[in-house]
Each structure stands twice: as C-alpha cells, then as structure tokens.
Structure 1
Amino acid sequence: MKDLLTRKLPAELVVDIFSRVVPPKRREEWSESSPPHTTLTPLSLGKICRSWRSIVWNTPMLWTYVTLTLNREHYETQVELLPGWLERSGHHPLTIIMRGPGGDEEEDWEIHPPYEVMCQLAEVSERWKEVDMFIPYACYTDLARIRCRLPLLERLTIRPPDGVDFAFDYKLHFFHDAPRLQGLTINGLHYADATALPWHQLRCLYGQDLLVADDCYAMLKDAENLIVCRFNNVQQSSDFASASPEMIHLPRLQILELSTIGNILATAFLDSLSLPSLVELELGLGFTFDDWKYFSISDLTSFVRRSGCLLQRLTLFKIRLIERELIEGLVSLPHLVELHLHAEYPKASAGMSISDTFLFALSPPSSRPFGVCHPLPPDESLVPKLEILGYNGPLSNITPQNLQTMLEYRWYGISHASSSPCPCPSSSSSSSGGRYSVERLHKVSLESASSITITPEVQSSIRSLITDQGMDLTLTTNGFDASLIHTDNWLASPDQTVLGTSGGMDTETTSGWVPDKEHETVARQSNEIPLASAPPSPQVCPGPQGMFFAPLAFSEDW
C-alpha cells in the first residue's frame, strides 16, 4: 500500500521534495560544534517504505551529495556502503564533503589513514564538481591518481587533520590540471605546499587557520584574476609586520575580508595592495603582543586613494575609534553605501567614541555649528550615499534632538523633515528639483553600553519614522528612563517587536548591524562560484511584561 505522499503526488513532485532536503549544508553554514551531518540521506529516505525506496533508488540525482564524517567506530560500514552510493549516482557530477570529527580525534586518521575511502573517491574524480575534504598526509600519494582527471571541479576546500605538524613532503600537484576550478579554500596549509594549484583561473580564494602573511602575499600575486578574497587568522611572518616587497595589483578584486588580523599587520597588508575595482572591505582587527600602535583610519583612506577604488561597503570590527579621524576618513569615501563599525571601549580617552559631532556630520549642513566637523566642507553632508549604518561601541554627549534631526534628514532628505514629511522613496539631490541632498538611510542600528535619555517628544518623532515611514531602526543602549521602558516599548507599537527590554537594560538582535551577504551579487555577476547567503535573522521570542527578546546573532565569517 502506498503512503499518502506518493499516492497523492506525482513521482516528479516527490523527487523534487526529496531533492530539497538531501543536500548538505555548505561550509559557510557549519558551526564549530556541528560538523556537516545531514539529517536526511537517500538511505534514510529509503527506509521509510517501499514506495519511497523505489523512488529514491531510481533517482540518481539524490545520490550526488556524498557527505561523510569519518568515524572510527563505523568506518567499516562506511567503506561498505560507499561503492553502492557512488554507483546509484549514475554519471552525474558529485558534491563531496568529507571530514573527521574535529579536534584531537583527527590525529588518529593520520596514524590509520582512510585509504579505502580515498581510493573509492579517487576512482570517480572525473565527476567531482564540489569537494570539501580533510586529507591526512599519508593519503596524498593515493590521491595522485586524480591528476589530469578533474574536468568538472569548480570548488575545492582542502585541509590537513587538526593538531598535526604542518611539515610534510608531498605537494598538491594533483589539483593543478582542473580547467573549471574557480573557488578555492585552504585551511591550515602553507603556500609552499600548494604551489601547483591553478591560481591564475581562481575567482574566489578563502584562507583560514594560522595563515602566514608572506604566504598570503604569494598567493595573491599568483591569483591575479580574483574577484573575492577572504583571509582569516593571518599571522606575522616574523617578529615585525612587513608589507609585501612588491606592490600587488589585483585589477578585478571586488571583495576583500581580513579577519583576526593584528593592527599593524592590517596596515602592512593594505600597504601591499592596489585594488582599483574594490567595492567592499571588511577588517576584523585584534590587538596582538606584536602591536605597538593601533590601526588608523588614515591608513585605510591612503589605501583607497592609492587604489583609486570607489568603496561602497566598509566594515571595521574592534577598531580603536577616534571620532575626528573617523570623520576625516569618511570625507574621502563619498561613495559609501554601507558602513558597519564595531568599536572598542577605551578605559578613559577623550574623543574615542561617537558624539554629537558625528551626528552633525550626518545632518543637514544648515544645522551644523560652524567648523565643528572639519575637514567636511560646510555645504556638504558626510557620506551622502549612505543607506545602511551600523555602530556598536561607546557613545558620549549624544543629544536626543540631534539624533532625531540626523535620522529625519537622512530619511526625508530635507532639513526639517518632521514638519514636511515626504512619503516618496529615496532620491538623490537631482530628484524633485534639487529638494533631496542625500540618499535615504533605510537601516540604522546603534548599539552601546552607554546611556541616552530620550524625551517623549523625541520618542514620538523617532517612532513615527518606524511605524509610519518604515525605517529599519534599532537603538540598543543601557540607561533609558526605566519608566518609559516598562510602560511602553518606546520604539514600536504594541504589536511590533523592534526592541526588547529587561530591568532597564535593552536587548536587541545585532542583525541590525551585522552585515549580510546579499551585496555579493556584484561578484556573482562576474561568473565566479556562487557564494552562500548569510544565515537568517534570529527568531524573536516573547518575554515577560509583554516585551520581546531576541538572541544575539554573531557573524559567521567562514
């Protein structure tokens, strides 16, 4: 007897449903504690009933995703099942994910290598399309048979087992002849051990886990056609952070991300590059024992001027912020559309926070005290094309009325928007007869442990931007008037979930300022390997007193 699914739906639709639940998560969606186990596989679907098994066993496309987390206890079973799995996939291209359990347990696979699995996968290398492998060193010789047998390979992720010495003799020559390879992720491998890769044809390059700066420079010199580059956890090559001996010119690179990089090394890295097509830059800074000074935004603007790029999206994590330096730097970035700042909290340093001065720079020139935002010209607004602003860090001397003025000006595009609301969409200064001077600021997130007291009048005006106009606004600070908080969710109407509070402390999802990846469509238009989108925003959960809470969302870089 057939089950309800196969009895009511045609087989083609059932196959379509199965094909949507079988594919494993991409590496971008993995977490440290959850390896890429699949909740549903063709084998598990085939166990449900005879009808499902008949459909699954006769649909090769469902077997093209080979997800294998090596497990010593079940290794013999894995070796036994793998040939049948590969046979049922027919002649279709394969997506292969193979990894160890992670941590010290992977050292066991160096002592007892998974020769049988490697040999079986190598036999079908002509069908490899996307491969994500952890490769014990002892298996390098076994994989040599795939050389010149990778006609379909487009994406490759390789790394050695965790906790093993990086020094070994085998080179990665067997990936050299892969005519379609455009996306490469290298985890924990030294560049000298991967010199035979087809660098010139790469469009996306990701590297992580204790990369050495000199290796990064060498890879970039060879990968001259890159469009997207991300390096995580970059270390100095010696006791001193140094730039590349030769300027590295990458004419097509549009997206650059450097995370977990020391302050001085970040400066040296930017001093090594010329990126005329760059539209997005993300720096995840971190003070190291080798740093004797902090990263300066002036170093960033010097890099932009030297490259001649029109930077549109900028994200700086853990930056030691100096407000006047920030304004000076942003004057040099007039094409900026998105700005995300995560600033450190200094113990006691004047000017190392956001104040009314920054709000004045974003406000209409007519409302700005003379000379307060030098070197910003008196008749111009800072970053006039800005549409998304995220800030997490200290605030000082913020006047609620100035915050209101800035938000209204950046939404309506005119000086006194509150008295002359305009329901029109965002326009440039050329629209409506010159009435608009800035692009509409659609999304704003200000998160701080500092305190701001918002008067009822200002609350009403800001609430109107959200409820009546549709601004995506998140204000999360410590120190709002408790009576206002507990009697009214002050930024939202009762049926909305913009802000949550608890005992005078506001809590809100940080997805307002954590950058998503939708903007990577720029790179997708260049025919490189598709990039994964950002994870969805966290769900909002009901809390006490009718308030709402949302768990903090952290950006997952890799």
Structure 2
Amino acid sequence: MVTHTDSESMLVERRPHFENDTRRNALLLQVAALESEIAQKRTLLLKRETERLLLYSEINTLSPIDQLPAEIKTEIFYNALGSLVDSQWQGMYPFFLGKICRNWRDFVWSTPILWTTLHLCLSKKKYEVQTDLLHEWLSRTSKHPISFCLDTEESLYEWDAHPLTEVLTTFVSVSSQWKSVEFFVPDIKACFDAICTAEKSLPLLTTAVIRLTSTYGQLNLSTAPQLSVLHLCNPCLSKVLVPWHQLREFFANGCTVDEIRIFFRNAPQIVHCTFTDIEPAILDHLLDLDLFRPPVLEHLEYLKLWFGTVDDSASLILGSAKLPSLREVTFNGPFASSAPVTILPQIMQSFRSSQLLEDFTFSYEIPSDVVLIRALELIPSIKTLHLSFTHRNQHIDHKLLLEALLQRLKCPYDILLPNLRKFTYRGPTSLNEHMHLFRDVLVYRFRQCASPPKEVYSKEQTVSQIQSVIVRTPSQFVISPDIQEELDNLRRDGLQLSVTSHSVY
C-alpha cells in the first residue's frame, strides 16, 4: 500500500524530469527559430551573391577587351592560344582562357575558330576519356577548317592489339574540314581502313604529315585538290597516290634512287624537297623509258639529299635535270667510305647550270680535298659554304683544308668559289701545317677583294669579299705570334673569324 509520504516522494523525483523536458522543448524551439532565420539569411545571401556576380559581370563587360568588336576579340583570343610547332603543342588550350571568367568562358565556348587546332597524344589509360573529349572538341569547330596532330604516348608497336578505330573514325567524320593533318599512329589495317574512308572528302587539305610503319595498303590522297605539302615517313612511293603535280614541298625517308627519279618526273612544281636515308637499290620493275629523259624542275629552290649508302646508282638520282631556280643544297652521305671517288662530282654535274645557287652544305664525309675541289668547281655561284665532317667515319686520313684547296681559294687567275662570303668548317684538319697559307687566304679574300681590280684590262676575276669564317676542329692549333696578330687585326677590321680546337662530335 502506497502511503501519502511515498506519493510525495515520487512527485519530488519526477519533477526534475518534467522541468528538463520543458526546458529542452523551449531550447529546441529557439534552435528552430534560429535555423529558420539562418535559412532566410542564406537565401538572402545567395540572392545578394547572385546580384554581386551579375554586377561583376557587368563591370567585366566594361573592360577594354570586351568593348572590342567580336571579330577583333576573336583575333586576339586566337593569337593568344598555342599552336603546333614541329608536331608539338606550344602554348595554352582554349580551356585555359575559359577559366578566367564567365564572359570569357561563354565567348570561348561559342567561338568555333578557337577550337580548330588540336594536338592529341593518345594514352591507353585515358583512351576512353580522350575519345569523349575529342567528340566534344570537334563538335565546337562548326564547319571551320581544322589542323591536328594525332600521336601516341606509348610506342607504336604497343598499339598493335589496340586499334585506334574509334578515334580515327571520329576524325574521318570531319575529313571535309581537314586543312593540316599529322598522323603519328600505327598503320595497322584497321587504322588504314579508317583513314582511307576519307578519300572522297578532302577538299581543304593542304598539308599532310604521315608516319607509316608497314605497307598494309595504299595511302590514297589523290582527291585532295589543294594538297601542296606532304611529309612521309617510311613510305613505299609506288603505293602512295597523291596529286604529285601540285606538290610544293615534299619530305620522305627510306626511298630508293629510282623512286626519287620517278618523283622528280612527276612533281614539276616542287619547291622544297628533302630525301633522307636514300637507298641505292634500283628497282627495275619501276623503270620506263621516260626515266631517261631529264626532268625540268624549274621551281625547285631547296634540295636536301641524305644518303644511307652510296654506290654508282647515286649518280642517276638527278641525271641531267634542269634546275634553274635552285638556291640551296644539302648533301649528306658516306662519300669517303662506301662510294667511288668520282661519284660526288658526277652528282654535282646537275648544278652546273644553276646560276642562282648560293648556299651549299656537305656533311658526313668526303674522301679528300681533290674530290672536294672537283665538286666545288661545278658550283662557282655559291656565297655560303658549310663543310661539316664531324661523323666518326671521317677518319684521320681524310683531313681536309689542305694546301691544294687553300691555294685555289687565293689564286687570282683560277680562283675557286669567287662569290664566297661565308665559310664554315667542322671536322679534322691539318691547318697547323698550312697556317701561314690560311692567313694569306683570309688577307687576300678580306682585304684585297674588298674592291674590284684596279687595272681595267686585268684578267683577274671579280672576287667577293669574305665576311665570315668559322673553323671548328678536334685538332690542336699552334699559331705563331705573327700569324695570331694578323688574325686579330682581321677581326678588328670586321671579319667574323672563329678558329677553335675542341671536340666537334
């Protein structure tokens, strides 16, 4: 039985609980009120923040660049972006400009010309992401001409089991917009098939750089009516179909002598031409009677021929071609170790009628001064001569700049290279044995050739004044004080003269 005293005791025990509940409820109501007030404040702050951003946007529109006409602003943004230089991207992408502010982002995102140049270096790990990004990027170009370089992060052979079909198909879908393209991707059949689907839709293509690693099929660019620049790595020219007659610039490596002869016959408009790693093999099945009629390359100005090996067939590479516009030539090859000593002068015969030829470079190796003199006699018009025999195959027995050559450079009645103004030599030499003659050549070509002959009926040729002489050799120079004094005087009088002895390899 609960007594009166027990009831009072229970009420006393419960009262603190009631009071705690009441207090808690009151506090919760206050918290709820504060949260409601905070929510209202946040809404107001967000509204004010939006208003602030709008005001900043309006302020930004008053900046000088945003006051410019859209076409001028586009030009500024376009020139601020990066570009492809030697197949590498240099500078910023459009995304960077889009991060500056909303106005710039809206402008960049809605200006197609800012997305018309792309360098995509594919990675196996990022392939799917890069494919999605490529779709988005190309969608922003509208119908503008595009230039791109497609490369791979891994070696080409690592992609043999991973065809780039999706990426290539994406590029092919906009092939009507191609202006300048560079493909450094494995040419496995799936890739080649994707590229070849562009055959009928290349109306804007002017420049193509393509690396081939095998010969799965033809490379057909014959439907590119504006193609003028073509660079091919490891091609089989018989499987390359292009409008040769309209090319102005061409580069290829690994071609044979006969392939090059056929090229010269088919490319009468060529201006710049480079062949490297030239093979001597003659492919009889490519020969026809037309090959024996000398080509006329009346527009060719710049020619580079780098021979892998040299034999008698090298003399056929130009034959008796007419090269009236030729201005600059580079020859590189093992003319001392694997070639007949007469081969270089035979090749040089093609330049006898090139009256505009001014710049000539010999590199790799030449057997002797005698061969060099015979070659130089055929190009009297040159003003700049570079001799670079720094390859280790240029043996010590093949030292150049000997007495015979130096004598011919100062002989007034049978002078070699009468128009020479700049001369550079890199390689082994025996100048120590002929330093006095070297000095005499410099004095004659710099001081005495500064003005025409005084005698009206002199038989001496008009000889140009030398302006620059650079000799760099691993041989140690021993220069006597009197010769050193004269060389110093020539420098003080304006001759750009550098004679140094250190490694050139």
TM-score, normalised by the number of residues in structure 1:
0.68
Q: Tell me how far apart the structure 2 counterparts of residues 433 and 71 of structure 1 sit (CA, whole Å).
A: 74
Contact residue 128 and residue 153 of structure 1 kept, 8 A? yes
Structure 2 residue corresponding to 1:281, chosen from 320, 329, 341? 329
Where do residues 78-227 of structure 1 align in structure 2 (5 Å cutoff)? 78-101=130-153, 105-135=155-185, 136=187, 137-160=189-212, 162=213, 166-168=214-216, 170-173=217-220, 175-194=221-240, 196-208=241-253, 210-227=254-271
The one-letter code of the counterpart of 1:357 is: A
- Offset from partner CA, 1:318-357 (integer Å, 9 cap, x none): 12241133223323321111111123675564x7421243
Rate the CA distance shift 1:463–1:453 in 2: closer, same or farther, 3 A: same
For residue 317 of structure 1, report the CA deviation from its aligned partner.
0.8
| Native 8 Å contact 2:176 2:204 kept in 1 | yes
What residue identity is the alignment partner of 1:44? F
Q: Distance in 2 between matches of 1:143 and 1:310?
A: 41
Q: 1:151 and 1:399, CA in 2 relative to 1: closer, same or farther beyond 3 A?
A: same
1:419-458 map, 5 Å? 437-458=462-483
User: Aligned partners of 2:140, 2:347: CA distance in 1, in Å?
Assistant: 53
Aligned AA (1:25): L
- Which residue of structure 2 lines up, in the alignment, with residue 387 of structure 1? 421
Identical residues among aligned pairs (%): 25
Displacement of 1:83 after TM fit?
Answer: 2.5
Deviation string, structure 1 residues 211-270 (Cα, Å, up to 9, x no partner): 333333333332232222101112233699x99963551322222211143132673344
String of CA shifts for 1:169-199, please: whole Å, max 9, x gaps: x3223x21111111111111211221x2111
- Cα pair 2:280 2:310 within 8 Å, conserved: no
- For 1:230-309, what aligned pairs fall within 5 Å after superposition? 230-237=274-281, 246-252=292-298, 253-264=300-311, 267-270=314-317, 272=319, 274-277=321-324, 278-286=326-334, 291=338, 293-294=340-341, 296-305=343-352
Counterpart-to-counterpart distance in 1, 2:218 and 2:455: 59
The alignment partner of 2:292 has SS state of: coil
Q: Would the aligned equivalents of 1:295 and 1:319 in 2 still touch at CA under 8 Å?
A: no
- Structure 1 residue 21: deviation in Å? 5.1
User: What's the CA shift for 1:126?
Assistant: 2.0
- Residue equivalent to 1:354: 401
Matched, 1:56 2:116: no
- Find the aligned partners of 2:385 and 2:113 in 1 and give their Cα distance: 42
Q: Which has the higher helix share?
A: 2
Distance 1:251 1:95, change over 3 A: same
Alpha carbons of structure 1 residues 15 and 320: separation in structure 2 relative to 1, 3 Å: same
Question: Greater shift after overlay, 13-22 or 252-261?
Answer: 13-22
**Do the aligned partners of 1:275 and 1:309 also contact (CA within 8 Å) in 2?**
no
CA distance in 1, matches of 2:447, 2:483: 16
Letter in 2 for 1:448: T
Larger Rg: 2
Q: 1 CA distance for matches of 2:143 and 2:452?
A: 54
Shift of 1:392: 1.3
Give, in angstroms, the shift of residue 437 of structure 1.
Answer: 3.4
Counterpart residue type for residue 121 of structure 2: T
Q: Distance in 2 between matches of 1:292 and 1:227?
A: 28
**Is contact 2:335–2:365 with CA below 8 Å preserved after alignment?**
no
The letter for the 2-side match of 1:391 is Y
**1:49, 1:456 → 2: CA distance?**
69
Shift of 1:38: 4.2
CA 1:472–1:432 in 2, change beyond 3 Å: closer, same or farther? farther
Which residue of the other structure, out of 349, 368, 375, is the alignment partner of 1:329?
375
* CA spacing shift, 1:47–1:227, aligned 2, 3 Å: same
Q: Which residue of 2 aligns with 1:408?
A: 443
Partners of 1:352 and 1:211 in 2: CA distance: 31
Deviation at residue 448 of structure 1 after TM alignment: 1.0
- Measured after TM superposition, the shift of residue 294 of structure 1 is 4.9
Distance 1:288 1:299, change over 3 A: closer
Letter aligned with residue 211 of structure 1: C
Q: Is the 8 A contact 1:148 1:177 kept in 2?
A: yes
User: Any idea what SS the aligned residue of 2:297 has?
Assistant: coil
Quick one: distance in 2 between partners of 1:412 and 1:80? 68
What SS does the aligned partner of 2:84 have?
coil
Aligned length: 434
* C-alpha spacing 1:193/1:413, structure 2 compared with 1 (3 Å): same
- For residues 15 and 464 of structure 1, the distance between their equivalents in structure 2, rounded to whole angstroms, comes to 56
Q: SS in structure 1 opposite 2:126?
A: helix
**Pair 283,263 (structure 1): closer, same or farther in 2 beyond 3 Å:** same
| CA–CA distance in structure 2, aligned partners of residues 41 and 266 of structure 1 | 49
On the 8 A contact 1:37/1:69 being kept in 2, the answer is no
One-letter code aligned to 2:157: E
Distance 2:60 2:437 in 1: 60
Amino acid at match of 1:154: T
Higher relative contact order, structure no. (Cα contacts within 8 Å, ≥ 6 residues apart):
1
Structure 2 segments unaligned to the other structure (5+ residues): 1-55
